[in-house]
Structure 1
């Protein structure tokens, strides 16, 4: 049977792309890492890595084995963490998924400061504007800005995502300023579109009711930063979170429109897989995250506390 230390060495080599990098990650020599992977290959009777002087390439079998090894090592890590005294410093890895702009601008600083005080924790921040499957993608926690549908996930609210409809003064001078919802149908609307997205059908509040507008435009993207670039270039109207564009609103590069008919805003959630067991490291991180965002102001998105 393959040993856990040899599995850990193999996983590190695949993740880091080299024996030397894996050695630095695990604080072991390159020779020790190489020997552990060779021992693992001998134990399971399968070649896992093609080695050259310049690179290490996993075999086809290795890619399947790699995912199973990661799952096994994480289960062992969680089991040991559950037995740890409550006052011991948390240790292990936490994988987080977040929207690109929010993760880079708002979440990354919180992670950095928390990690400084918990050096035995390893954070892996994955940035994507797509809706990921936490269980399938092996993510411990994800940030969602939406009204959550019923699911097996647990969630804790962090704040609210206040959104505005905006455009450049140049675009409005050229195309006119929309005043009522039906005016939106005459404009080029910049859309955030990906599987699961509904933003190509803007939802606005009209006299206290939620109204869906089937807006259209010739530009859509699955990346929020690209959407910001396009609206700043004067390509059309966009619905953006206040924290994303506050500096452009303050400078006058972007102008709010349709103030009487604001876009629907959503809570910002931290979601994580349900179940009876939550690792101590994830629990302490979630509690810290909720506390950090209690003082968060979308008009000053980099400030916490």
Structure 2
């Protein structure tokens, strides 16, 4: 039995659509349909009920799905074991990261990684939303957020610092800010998407007390880079990581707001599912990324003054 057909069946089952599975695997709907029919013929079972709008699994399909997942996991582990013995990571590697971080700090190193490990096929998924490992077949998540899921293994890649910032033009034009409560009178640029809580900003007082503010503004987006553009254009105040706005802080295009009340920060972290065996391609990418980022991270170069102004050490 062709394991590629098992991969296809699993994706159809996960996505509930022949078209979506074909798009994910870069196959035409006709090829997807033909291969599924071939699989059902080999098994002598009907695995899927197809309609014009959706695909539903039959009872036999549900049972076969569980066996397919175990087979594919075993095949993946076997391939990784062979690669480990020959000291050469291989196979597909699907990495998800926030849009801005993927563009600024992953994409520039992608070619170097695949040149170092030519048998790895890297697929970079840029999304500010929290991807589902199972449904998206993600091997590795890169996140800069509070971590609550105990079902994942977390490895910190780099410390991180967040700041409130705005353009000099905005700060000249609008009322002065002296305390966190003044933010309610300003246009706060917020990152919003389903499940996001970034409309709440947590700031630390000099005493160590944390204050949580539910804020609003006239403009929000599900894309963090759009917020940066609006901030640079003088449309409001944004909560940003130094890995994203460091160059703008250095050039003076953005100024730190309320430096004595730094926002809560979260380290840059690599997440992967609990497993008895971590594929070499995943481990190699994590090690490679940690090497490229450095300690302290390269994006903090020139921002040493920021630690003095905010009083906030790098979050490790």
- Normalising by structure 2, we get a TM-score of 0.75
Alpha-carbon contact 2:200-2:215 (below 8 Å) kept: yes
Q: Following the alignment from structure 2 to structure 1, what is the Cα–Cα distance between the partners of residues 249 and 120?
A: 38
Whole-angstrom CA distance in 2 between matches of 1:8 and 1:205? 48
Secondary structure of the residue aligned to 2:188 is coil
Query: How do 1:244-283 and structure 2 match up within 5 A?
Result: 244-283=244-283
* 1:59, distance to aligned residue in structure 2 (A): 8.6
Give 1:107's aligned residue: 106
Cα displacement (A) at 1:17: 3.5
Cα RMSD (Å) of the superposition?
3.5
Counterpart for residue 178 of structure 1: 177
Aligned to 1:281, the other structure's residue is in SS state helix
Say if 1:115 and 1:173 are closer, same or farther in 2 by CA, change over 3 A.
same
What is the aligned length? 281
Match of 1:187 in 2: 186
Q: How far apart, in 2, do the equivalents of 1:47 and 1:150 lie?
A: 33
* 1:157-176 equivalent positions in 2, closer than 5 A: 157-176=156-175
Aligned equivalent of 1:116: 115
Residue 290 of structure 2 aligns to a residue in which SS? helix
Cα distance change of structure 1 residues 181 and 126 upon mapping to structure 2, 3 Å threshold: same
Distance 2:275 2:47 in 1: 37
Matched, 1:16 2:11: no
**Superposition map of 1:218-233 within 5 A:** 218-233=218-233
Measure the CA separation in 1 of the matches of 2:114 and 2:53: 31
Report what 1:28 is aligned to: none
**Alpha-carbon distance between aligned partners in 2 of 1:9 and 1:263, rounded to the nearest angstrom:** 45
Alignment deviations for residues 186-211 of structure 1 (CA, whole Å, 9 cap, x no partner)? 11111112233332111111114222
Give the Cα–Cα distance (whole angstroms) in 1 for the partners of residues 265 and 256 of structure 2: 15
1:182 Cα deviation from its structure 2 partner: 1.7
In structure 2, relative to structure 1, the CA distance for the partners of 1:298 and 1:39 (3 Å cut) is: same
Check 1:234–1:213 CA distance in 2 against 1; reply closer, same or farther (3 A cut): same
1:213-249 superposed Cα distances (whole Å, 9 cap, x missing partner): 2222122222111111221222211111112122322
Please give the secondary structure, in 2, of the residue aligned with 1:95. Answer: strand
CA 1:73/1:201 → structure 2, altered by over 3 Å: closer, same or farther? same
Unaligned runs of 5+ in 1: 23-32, 49-56
CA distance in 1, matches of 2:109, 2:274: 24
Match of 1:298 in 2: 299
Which ranges of structure 2 fall in alignment gaps of 5 or more residues? 12-20, 303-316
Shift of the 43–168 alpha-carbon distance from structure 1 to 2, 3 Å rule, reads same
Kept in 1, the 8 Å contact 2:84–2:280? The answer is no
Q: C-alpha deviations, 1:154-174, integer Å up to 9, x for none?
A: 011011221111112222222
Q: What TM-score do you get using the length of structure 1 for normalisation?
A: 0.77
